[in-house]
A and B are shown apart, each in its own frame.
Chain A
Amino acid sequence: MQLQYFLLLAAALFCIGIYGVITSRNAVRVLMSIELLLNAVNLNLMAFSNYLDSVEIKGQVFTVFVITVAAAEAAVGLAIVLAIYRNRDTVDMEQFNLLKW
């Protein structure tokens, strides 16, 4: 068990999240993909704090903060999605292209 494996897993998770963010048509799935990104970051933080800073474990504190903020952000994100849904009766990301050129 080495640091690199954790980092590679986190990177892979990040990439999957990015792929989801960019390709999903459902707005809720975009939010879910963002959660994947944040979790990939959390994995990184935890891995670093375990292998490099096992005394003061500042990474774990960061992770706690990230989880907290991610929860708040998800709440706001879902609220936004709901607000849009109320107006436009859809959550299809491709219907939200009103602010173009």
Chain B
Amino acid sequence: MSQYLLETVWLVPCYALIGASFAIPWSPGLIRLTGPRPAGYVNLVMTFLSFLHSAIALQATWNQPPQELFLPWLDVAGLNLTIAVEISSLSVGGLVLICGLNFLAQIFAIGYMEMDWGWGRFFSLLGLFEAGLCALVLCNNLFFSYVILEILTLGTYLLVGLWFSQSLVVTGARDAFLTKRTGDLFLLMGVLAIWPLAGTWNYTELAEWAEKAKVDPTAIGLVSLALIAGPMGKCAQFPLHLWLDEAMEGPVPSTILRNSVVVASGAWVLVKLQPVFALSPIVSNAMIGIGAVTAVGASLIAIAQIDLKRCLSYTVSAYMGLVFIAVGTQQDDAALLLVLTHAVSAALLVMSTGGIIWNSITQDVTKLGGLWGRRPISGIAFIVGTLGLIGFPPLGSFWALMELSDDLWVTKPWLVGVILLVNALTAFSLTREFCLLFGGKPKAMSERSPEVHWPMVLPMVILLGFVLHLPLVLESLSLLPSWASLNKDVALLLAWSSIFGCSISAVIYLSDFIPKPIHLPFKGLQDLLAYDFYTPKLYRMTIILGVALISKLTDMVDRLVVDGIVNFVGLFSVLGGEGLKYSTSGQTQFYAFTILMGVSVLGAFVTWQYWGTQFLNLIF
């Protein structure tokens, strides 16, 4: 049975697609009688089916070598495009994670979207995302990964733009699409340029090729830089990070998915391409640089935000930066482990805060407070999510960060410093959010704030349990390092950096001796971080300005020069007609004169050979 399910695990994306297409009929324009709710239930059932399928398949795949299935797609003129499906414990594990998180997010959405009519559109897009992510995880081919990433980019545009009557949603969806699209287009350049070099798009074959490839370092450097540009946009890395901030205008349940899984889709491609990146030291350094700058920058920005959802979105950028560092230093396992632990913890954090937003209405953390007494479950979920995200033993991310820093301890010690700094800053920012939400005295917006109803609490609690059990799960899968081989210094430093960040933040925000809201001594620096380094202005003054100017210039050239030349021909003909009509003077004698002139000229021309030369000789 489980063997059969393993062989048909490629059906998992199809379940979600079926769910997505079944949800569409309950759009308000089609089925008017029932209301939109069945759309959600159908999707929930399909997601649960795919979760069950992949979970059973995961057991069967354990301790088995990876298999590969091939589905022919297109074979034209020497180009053979075959969809390669990889069935390994890793990919099926990815399926379980995606389907599980999607299942929980959909239960959450049934509670959260209770007062909304747009279930058909919302759930079909969630289904599309689930299908896309599952297909991405299964797909073992760079070309089809690119195809799926592009479909997911379109999905992001539609999902962020769900409530399109709000102007910020429209601009946010636009930026999310264009920013990710830019990255994807560079990725396409890389995908196309690696074909003549490697002759294959299959990840496994690419890795084999990369092992003994002798290529021009400049060429492979450029190709690899293009290949990281796609994940850079997907993972919201500097400088393509603004879209994730603006994508927080979308509904919360989709944010759960986006913060945990969707941004990780770029990291997945990155990990898969790691052997290729290892060919060029420039690219590794670029990835480390991008990752480090994003991790530090975004965790600093997260501290300075007052919007609850944006506080969390910058933390996501920061952690994806750590994944970039991990891939840049050739540590795939640490990167994948970090993606896993980050996904569950980030989803838990978004669920906890999403419930608070749902009945406290405001997202402004400075207007919330004193929720701990009345919202214990959300509070505990936030604490566990925080501890699961920062390096706090024995929870998940500690092991991922341990594994990452352990290798760097010897090779690149300054990166350990970056990781510790990011960890401390993230601990600070998450504790700040916790203290502002749950600590202090209730404010006007949080005066009456009951705990949310069961569809939102249930997935939160299930996920909470999973985050708590994650170390045990990892232990049983023997993915954790043994205590003996543990680098105690690193472990202590990590734990201390977390404690340091948390305690300082708690002291600052829970005590009364610092007046709230807090003002830094340097107003400029606080504003710089709060407005995320003025990235919108930066975009507007560089790329957008350039493209706008070139567009206007091109438009002007089109209107004036190209159109002008064609119009001039027309105008010339009209003017010619208008001018030449005066040759018809109405004077009969003039006509007679014209006839005479015509006859004389023609006669002179015909008879020129008999007298012309003599005539000319006579004159000159």
Task: Check if B588 sits within 8 Å of A96, measured CB to CB.
Answer: yes
Report the contact-size class of chain A (Cβ under 8 Å from the partner).
Answer: 10 to 19
What 0/1 pattern do residues 570 to 602 of B give for CB contact below 8 A with A?
A: 000000000001101111110011001000000
- Which listed residue, A18, A30, A99, touches B586 by the CB 8 Å rule? A99
CB distance from A27 to the nearest CB of B (A): 9
Please report the total number of B residues contacting A with Cβ < 8 Å. 11
Task: Check if A97 sits within 8 Å of B585, measured CB to CB.
Answer: yes
CB distance from A31 to the nearest CB of B (A): 12
- Which listed residue, B584, B588, B596, touches A18 by the CB 8 Å rule? B596
Task: Check if A30 sits within 8 Å of B581, measured CB to CB.
Answer: no
**A55 part of interface (Cβ distance < 8 Å):** no
- Which listed residue, A94, A96, A101, touches B584 by the CB 8 Å rule? A101
CB distance from A4 to the nearest CB of B (A): 16
CB distance from B17 to the nearest CB of A (A): 73
A26 to B318, CA, bound (A): 103
Contacts of B582 in A (CB 8 A): 101
Looking across the interface, which residue of chain A has its beta carbon closest to that of B590?
A22
Looking across the interface, which residue of chain B has its beta carbon closest to that of A24?
B589
Task: Check if A21 sits within 8 Å of B589, measured CB to CB.
Answer: yes
Looking across the interface, which residue of chain B has its beta carbon closest to that of A18?
B596
Task: Check if B587 sits within 8 Å of A93, measured CB to CB.
Answer: yes
**A98 part of interface (Cβ distance < 8 Å):** yes
Looking across the interface, which residue of chain B has its beta carbon closest to that of A99?
B586
A93 to B592, CA, bound (A): 13
A98 to B586, CA, bound (A): 6
CB distance from A35 to the nearest CB of B (A): 15
**A100 part of interface (Cβ distance < 8 Å):** yes
CB distance from A95 to the nearest CB of B (A): 10
Which residues of chain A in 49-101 are interfacial with respect to chain B, using CB atoms and an 8 Å cutoff?
Answer: 93-94, 96-101
Task: Check if A100 sits within 8 Å of B589, measured CB to CB.
Answer: no
Q: Give the residue among A18, A93, A94, A100 with the most B Cβ atoms within 10 A.
A: A100
A98 to B589, CA, bound (A): 13
Contacts of A21 in B (CB 8 A): 589, 592
Which residues of chain B in 259-306 are interfacial with respect to chain A, using CB atoms and an 8 Å cutoff?
Answer: none
Looking across the interface, which residue of chain A has its beta carbon closest to that of B587?
A97
Contacts of A22 in B (CB 8 A): 589, 592-593, 596
Task: Check if A100 sits within 8 Å of B593, measured CB to CB.
Answer: no
Contacts of B586 in A (CB 8 A): 96-101
Contacts of A24 in B (CB 8 A): 589
A93 to B584, CA, bound (A): 16
Task: Check if B585 sits within 8 Å of A100, measured CB to CB.
Answer: yes
Contacts of B585 in A (CB 8 A): 97, 100
A32 to B592, CA, bound (A): 15
A100 to B592, CA, bound (A): 15
A22 to B595, CA, bound (A): 11
A32 to B94, CA, bound (A): 112
CB distance from A73 to the nearest CB of B (A): 15
- Which listed residue, A30, A99, A101, touches B589 by the CB 8 Å rule? A30
Looking across the interface, which residue of chain B has its beta carbon closest to that of A93?
B589
A100 to B587, CA, bound (A): 8
- Which listed residue, A93, A97, A101, touches B581 by the CB 8 Å rule? A101
Contacts of B596 in A (CB 8 A): 18, 22
Contacts of B588 in A (CB 8 A): 93, 96
**What 9 pairs between A and B have smallest CB-CB spacing?**
A100-B586, A97-B586, A101-B581, A101-B584, A22-B593, A22-B589, A97-B587, A99-B586, A100-B585
**What are 6 A-B contacts with C-beta separation under 8 Å?**
A18-B596, A22-B592, A22-B593, A30-B589, A98-B586, A101-B581
Given contacts A24-B589, A93-B588, A94-B587, 7 further A-B contacts (CB under 8 A): A22-B592, A22-B593, A96-B586, A96-B587, A96-B588, A100-B584, A100-B586
